[in-house]
Chains A and B, each alone.
Chain A
Amino acid sequence: MRLTGAQIVWESLVREGVETVFGISGGAVIHLYHALPDYPIHHVLTRHEQGAAHAADGYARATGRVGVCIATSGPGATNLVTGLATAYMDSSPVVAFTGQVATGVIGTDAFQEVDITAITLPVTKHNYLVTDVRELPTVIKEAFHIAGTGRPGPVLIDIAKDVQAAETDYVYPEGVYLPGYTLPEEDASEQIRQAAQMLNEAQRPVVIAGHGVVLAGVEDELLEFAEKSGIPIVTTLLGIGAMPETHQLCLGMTGMHGEACTNLALTEADLVVSLGSRFDDRITGPVGQFAPQARIIHVDIDPAEIDKNVPADLAVVGDLRDVLPALIPEIEKRDHPEWLARIQEWRDETAKRDIVGKETDDLLPQFVMRQIWHATQGDVIVVSDVGQNQMWEAQYFVHHRRRGLLSSGGLGTMGFALPAAIGAQLGCPDEQVWVTVGDGGFQMNIQELATVAQEKLPLKIAVLNNGYLGMVRQWQQLFFEARYSGTPLLGPDFAQVAKAYGITGLTVREKEQVGPAIAQAMDTDGPVLIDFCIVQEENVYPMVAPGAPVHDMIRRPDAADEQG
């Protein structure tokens, strides 16, 4: 079959099972767009290439399938970078296509030429510059394989403009030949046996469940493991949903703004088992003081994560899909009554000190999050942005379903939520998708409201509007003499903005309007934005101060008064 480079791209995407792509056209991808209408692929026009990259990422996170985005050369390509870096940090499978200037002028500073493979080198799992159309099918096949297997990640394919127009005989390869790309294949049974022994001997064990559990899709196995071993599970931000937060053994999110009981449990633990988490500094605090009494078992698919941050006493390199089923039969049925009782004391104390139970007429963000949770029963996909709003979401929305929370963890990219939710909604058309976002982050990709309207996506968007870059303001309040330098934020009337895009817009200023507004949003078929004008200077607690060990938390200052 003779095909042009442009046709090869689409034909190969169809063969990879791709149904939806996100992108923006331009001179260097005009051949691609010219060929597109002949293929059964839905192209979603975002309003900024960053939006396209986040949408592809959100699609991937929600579905587990590879997300695809497209941009033209030069500024189109550079606009993808934040989105690729976000996907890279969170191990999300994305394939990005960019147009490049024609092979004859590469290197001449031609119009809209940038060396995007060089620029994205450190934020992609791999990338390609294609200057010969005959290589294109192999490159695409490899890109999907690399993006989606092992520890997933973004792969970029930069295709010179003349390559898109050139013709060749098309054969899509059956497999890949990548001698330098190996997946863990070593037999880990000895390490698994040792891990089981350490687990069986432990008196105060804790498991940290990370994004790897979600990526591997072993939520059922984790539950079985927890119930058999009796070991309490804490999750990272991206591990939320790995274990139902409604389960007695799930203690919730750990780390800088984690549940106090999780940080205390890790500090007193005699065994910490990380399943698919990379001991990020937001989880550990200073590594020298992390889990000081514990032996560490680190299970990861990526050998380079072992001993990177926290040295492991036992490393198990492997896919959790293999490791957990092998581990479960080896462990003893235990209950850990004393350890769990001790943890329960901390939990009760946490509930009293850190949960806002305050009788107040103020519109508190925590209350808004709780109400959204109550109204939706947690049976929705939440896509959260970055900042205080992200932490309130993680703390006050109780996640019981898998892949129920999508958020930018590693890079902490403001502006992620709206475009990522567009991807999630397109990937999961039958799910209700909520966006929870701050007034700052929302304005970073607010233009994607146009995409929401054009695609008629029934997103429910909750803006937690505190008039500040709130998380930074909180740091200024606590650590920088309350000098609110560069953090007050004048926003537009978000409901009016929504209406201008043809989206239902509501404004909520009073506590009693919260429930009805959420109900109205859920009853509306199309997209709805609710601007929650929350109290301006609310803080996220508990908080581990930067540089402090995790058990040393700043707690809610007014808790004692409230509880009287």
Chain B
Amino acid sequence: MKYTLVALMENKPGVLSRVAGLFRRRNYNIESLSVGHSETPNISRMTIVLHGDDRVVQQVVKQLAKLINVTEVLDVSSQPAVFRELALIKVKAGPGVRSEIIELANIFRARVVDVGAASLTVEITGPETRVNSLIGLLNPYGIDELARTGRVAMVREMNDNSGQAAYL
């Protein structure tokens, strides 16, 4: 099964290699890992997507929490949460197919962020499933380059609208 963890960590040199080293050493199967600043100065926030069973994931949570620079670890897999990923897709786009691709991008609420003579670069943000679908549809045109950020996650504030917001 796929799990999503959120870890907060002190923004100190080497902290990334500590986390990455832990995953490698303990043989955890990581799908994606994305890191950036959090709302607190000097605290970074990492979202980790991994495969495993419940026992493995509990181990990962506890081993991560043991790292001295890691201040908090949450398993958000079974919580109502917003999951998002951003992808930049550079797709071959000769004059004949350009408008088709732009149309596809529009349907996915993706944006064209660069136009070249032979390619278009599309930016999409959304749940991975949506990103995957767009990539699947663009594949036949020929994808020159693909950059994905990996999942970031945030637990929803529990209120009456949260159920609806999930589909936004």
Residues of A within 8 A of B (CB): 117-118, 121-122, 125-126, 129, 146, 178-181, 302-304, 306-308, 311
Residue from B13, B21, B59, B67 in contact with A307 in the complex, judged by beta carbons closer than 8 Å? B59
Name 13 extra pairs, CB < 8 A, besides A180-B67, A303-B65. A118-B14, A121-B18, A121-B21, A122-B22, A122-B25, A126-B68, A178-B68, A179-B71, A180-B9, A304-B63, A307-B55, A308-B59, A311-B55
- For the complex, is B152 an interface residue (Cβ under 8 Å from A)? no
CB–CB A303/B71 < 8 A: no
CA distance A146 to B25 in the complex (A): 21
CA distance A117 to B17 in the complex (A): 10
CB–CB A146/B68 < 8 A: yes
- For the complex, is B75 an interface residue (Cβ under 8 Å from A)? no
Tally A-B pairs: CB < 8 A. 41
Q: List 15 A-B contacts (CB under 8 A).
A: A118-B14, A118-B17, A121-B18, A121-B21, A125-B68, A129-B13, A129-B14, A146-B68, A178-B68, A180-B69, A181-B68, A304-B59, A304-B66, A306-B62, A307-B58
Bitwise interface map of B from 1 to 25 toward A, beta carbon under 8 Å scored 1, else 0:
0000000011001100110011001
Residue from B10, B21, B59 in contact with A179 in the complex, judged by beta carbons closer than 8 Å? B10
On whether A117 and B14 interact (CB within 8 A), knowing A180-B9, A307-B58, the answer reads yes
- For the complex, is B70 an interface residue (Cβ under 8 Å from A)? yes
Neighbouring A residues of B65 by C-beta, 8 Å: 180, 303-304
Nearest CB of B to A186, in Å: 13
Neighbouring B residues of A181 by C-beta, 8 Å: 68
Q: Which residue of chain A has the shortest Cβ distance to B21 in the bound complex? A: A121
CB–CB A122/B68 < 8 A: no
Interface hits, B15-64 → A, CB 8 Å: 17-18, 21-22, 25, 55, 58-59, 62-63
Neighbouring B residues of A307 by C-beta, 8 Å: 55, 58-59
Q: Which residue of chain A has the shortest Cβ distance to B63 in the bound complex? A: A304
Residue among B59, B65, B68 with the highest chain A CB neighbour number at 10 A: B68
CA distance A125 to B71 in the complex (A): 15
CA distance A118 to B21 in the complex (A): 9
Closest 6 CB pairs of A and B: A304-B62, A180-B71, A126-B68, A179-B71, A122-B25, A121-B21
Neighbouring B residues of A117 by C-beta, 8 Å: 14
Q: Which residue of chain B has the shortest Cβ distance to A122 in the bound complex? A: B25
CA distance A307 to B67 in the complex (A): 19
Residue among A121, A122, A180, A302 with the highest chain B CB neighbour number at 10 A: A180
Nearest CB of A to B22, in Å: 8
Neighbouring B residues of A302 by C-beta, 8 Å: 66
